[in-house]
Amino acid sequence: MHMSENQRASARPRPVLRGAAVEDAIDRAVRQMMQVDPRPGLGRRVQSRIARPAGRRSLYSTPYMAVAGALAMLVLAVGLLRPDTARDRASPGSAMDEAAPAADSFASSQAGPAPSRPADSLAAGRSVSRPQPPYERGERVSPVPLIAPKDPKAHAEAIPMPEIVNLFGAGGNTVTGANFSGRADAIATPPARAAESPLQVVALPMPPLRIELLTITPLPVPGKER
């Protein structure tokens, strides 16, 4: 069977040491470990390090490592935040904001002067009020196309959509269900609920408790059977 060097070493019988020999062995080991001199030319190396300008420090020195760590954290943070930013850009609110100039230009081309923008109001020092959109002014404008004008591949021109007509007619508060076959003046009433009986406490069937007397039997002790 193959034995490793360590196994062979541990299987070998150890010599019996005297008390002083153990102490000597420890002393010798510590001396051998510690009584080492520095490489020659230490003074020269120290002087060259003292004379070395601060700009020629090692790349592994603490300031460089700190800067590198900060840069790594920055790159990591940007990488983690990027999807959120893209999602924000793709959100309807921002898309509406970006498409607003196109809608304004489209509306102005069809319905007259464009409403004042908040930035203009701020610049003029007036109180900011939400601009009234064309559909609230009663103008009939097609829905705003969600086109990002900054995207060169996207169509920069606003495309007017056809006006949507309500297929179900004018809405109202009266019931006009097409499948109701009753009279026109019928009144719907909820079904009557059955009268609830009051709660009653009912005893569950249970056998009576029976307590038996405790009997202690002595355990057999080995050797004392007789």
Partner 1 sequence: MVPVAESSDCVMATVRAPTNEATDLDLVRLAQAGDLDAFGELVERNRRAVFRAALACVRSPAEADDVTQEAFVTAFTKIGTFRGEAQFRTWLLAITWRKAIDRRNNVMRWLRVTVGAPRDDSGEDAYDYIDRVPSADRSQEDTVVDDELQRNVTRLIGTLPKKLRDALLLAGTGEHTYEEIGRMLGTPLGTVKWRVSEARRILKRKLAALGYAYE
Chain residues binding partner 1 by CB under 8 A are 9-10, 13-19, 21-23, 25-40, 42-43, 45-47, 49-50, 60
Beta carbons within 10 angstroms of residue 181's beta carbon? 6
Q: Tokens 């060259």 sit at which residue? A: 48
- Give whichever of 9 and 146 is closer to partner 1, judged by the CB atom: 9
| Residue 106 contacts residue 141 (beta carbons within 8 Å) | yes
**Residues contacting 205, CB < 8 A, separation 6+:** none
Compute the distance between CA of residue 27 and CA of residue 109 in angstroms, rounded to an integer: 100
- Give whichever of 58 and 127 is closer to partner 1, judged by the CB atom: 58
- Give whichever of 21 and 186 is closer to partner 1, judged by the CB atom: 21
| Nearest distance, CB of residue 76 and partner 1, angstroms | 18
- Give whichever of 17 and 161 is closer to partner 1, judged by the CB atom: 17
| Nearest distance, CB of residue 10 and partner 1, angstroms | 8
**Residues contacting 132, CB < 8 A, separation 6+:** 115
| Residue 158 contacts residue 106 (beta carbons within 8 Å) | yes
| Nearest distance, CB of residue 43 and partner 1, angstroms | 5
| Nearest distance, CB of residue 49 and partner 1, angstroms | 5
